[in-house]
Amino acid sequence: MLINVKNLVKRYGDLIALDHFNLEVQEGEILGLLGPNGSGKTTAINCILSLLKYDKGTIELYDQPMTPDAYDIKRNIGVVMQNVAIFDELTVYENIDYFCGLYISDKHTRKKLVAEAIAFVGLGDFKKFSPKKLSGGLLRRLNIACGIAHKPKLIILDEPTVAVDPQSRNNILEGIMELNRQGATIIYTTHYMEEVEQICSRIAIMDKGKIIAMGTNEELKQMIKSGEHINLELLNPEHLELSEITALPHIISAELTDHQLVVKSGRGKNTLIAILDYLKGRNITIGKIYSEPPTLNDVFLEITGKALRD
């Protein structure tokens, strides 16, 4: 096992940031760590990297205890911190070269790696720029390049795409999947559920310092009761009786706003047909109709009783 964290407890004074946190990461996967602000994602990462002392628990990387002096383990890790950590006094190129140089001493290899990293984040036009002259998104991309230039076997990214525009974000996500295909194991921390859905092979959902659910995208959605969200536009909704809809099998809830009926259904077959039959019997004419699969937000909502993002 690549990472094995057991019963990690970390307190900041009275605040319990990590409450018996457990995590296992297998080689080759992309693990998404999804959780709202303040749920303890960064704290967990910092403990795993031995940047923080913790109160209880064990952390093993490559089956060895992780300590501040575990340099051989550190050699294999690439880190992209949530807070941009670069030298304002060095250029874009020099920054990437500096961090790459902490891992790779051979100059020629490094030159090649730095060039690849620059291409990876698309900073080719900004090599000689001072970081002070980069926009927020470009700075984030530099931060990523500095973390992954040395081609580490394990890459830990803590909300790397904050402030990055959608197109560059897609490029970066693509790139991360490519790094994974090349053999890197990835831990990806974010509060964007779309990102984890897009790239992660496994997702851990965090809340209040604990992992509250873990599995693949599908597994997580199977775990919860809610299935599809069925949206129907009704042209003559005055004939509708909501209680009769909720009485149908597998229906969790139904809501009517103006002409829009939203039905949350549980897992079961023929739910849509039952609804359509009912509406036909009532002589209600249907305009548009579409259905959405459940989201990770539904998963989070169902487990915690609150939305992932308010």
Partner 1 sequence: MQVYKAFFKIILKNRIQLMIYLVVFMVLALLLSSSYNPPQDTDFTKVKVNIAFINDDIDSPLVAGLQTYLGENANLVAIPDDTQKLQDALFFRDVEYILRVPVGFTDAMLSGSAVQLEKTTVPDSTSNIYMDLLINKYLNTANTYTTYLPGLSQTDLVAHLQEDLANATEVTMISSGTHSAYAEKSGYYFNYLSYSLFAILILGICSVMLVFNNTDLKRRNLVSPLRSANMNFQMILGNLSFAVITWLVLISASFVMYGSFMFTATGRLLLLNSFVFTLAALSISYLIGNLVKSRGAMSAVANVFALGTSFISGVFVPQALLGDNVLTIASFTPTYWYVKANNEITAAVNFNAASLTSIFTSMIVILGFAVAVLAVTLVLIKQRRLDA
Residue 79 binds what, of partner 1, ligand ATP, Mg ion, none (CB under 5 to 8 Å, by partner type)?
partner 1
The token duo for 65 is: 């205890």
Mark the segment that binds Mg ion (CB under 5 A) among 74-82, 138-146, 227-235, 258-266: 74-82
Q: How many residues bind partner 1 (CB under 8 A)?
A: 30
- Mention every residue, 6+ apart, whose C-beta is less than 8 A from residue 125: none
Nearest Cα residue to 299 out of 232, 230, 216, 231: 216
Handedness of CA 211, 216, 218, 223 (dihedral sign): negative
Mark the segment that binds Mg ion (CB under 5 A) among 41-49, 109-117, 127-135, 197-205: 41-49
Residue 74 binds what, of ligand ATP, partner 1, Mg ion, none (CB under 5 to 8 Å, by partner type)?
partner 1
Residue 38 binds what, of Mg ion, partner 1, ligand ATP, none (CB under 5 to 8 Å, by partner type)?
ligand ATP
Write out the binding residues for partner 1, residues 45-104 only, by CB under 8 A.
Answer: 46, 49-53, 68-69, 71-72, 74-75, 77, 79, 81, 83-90, 94, 98-99, 101-103
Identify whether the C-beta of residue 81 lies closer than 8 Å to the C-beta of residue 49.
no
Q: Applying CB under 5 A, which of residues 3, 8, 36, 42 lies at the interface with Mg ion? A: 42
Q: How many CB atoms lie within 10 A of CB 110?
A: 18
Q: Give the CA dihedral 5, 295, 137, 17, nearest 10 degrees.
A: -30
The token duo for 54 is: 């913790």
- Residue 205 CA to residue 229 CA, distance in Å, equals 22
User: Would you say 36 or 237 has its CB closer to ligand ATP?
Assistant: 36
Mark the segment that binds Mg ion (CB under 5 A) among 26-34, 38-46, 63-71, 298-306: 38-46
Q: Does 143 bind Mg ion (CB under 5 A)?
A: no
Mark the segment that binds ligand ATP (CB under 6 A) among 11-19, 180-188, 192-200, 213-221: 11-19
- Residue 296 CA to residue 282 CA, distance in Å, equals 35
Encode 52-89: b = buried (16+ Cβ within 10 Å), e = exposed: bebeebebbbbeeebeeebeebbebbbbbbbebebeee
User: Would you say 158 or 195 has its CB closer to partner 1?
Assistant: 158
Write out the binding residues for partner 1, residues 19-48 only, by CB under 8 A.
Answer: 46
Write out the binding residues for ligand ATP, residues 177-236 only, by CB under 6 A.
Answer: 191
DSSP 41-107: HHHHHHHHTTSS--SEEEEEETTEE--TT-HHHHTTEEEE-SS----TTS-HHHHHHHHHHTT---H
Binding site for Mg ion (CB under 5 A): 41-42, 82
Q: Which residues bind partner 1 (CB under 8 A)?
A: 46, 49-53, 68-69, 71-72, 74-75, 77, 79, 81, 83-90, 94, 98-99, 101-103, 146
Provide the binding-site residues for ligand ATP, judged by CB under 6 A.
12, 15, 17, 35, 37-43, 82, 159, 191
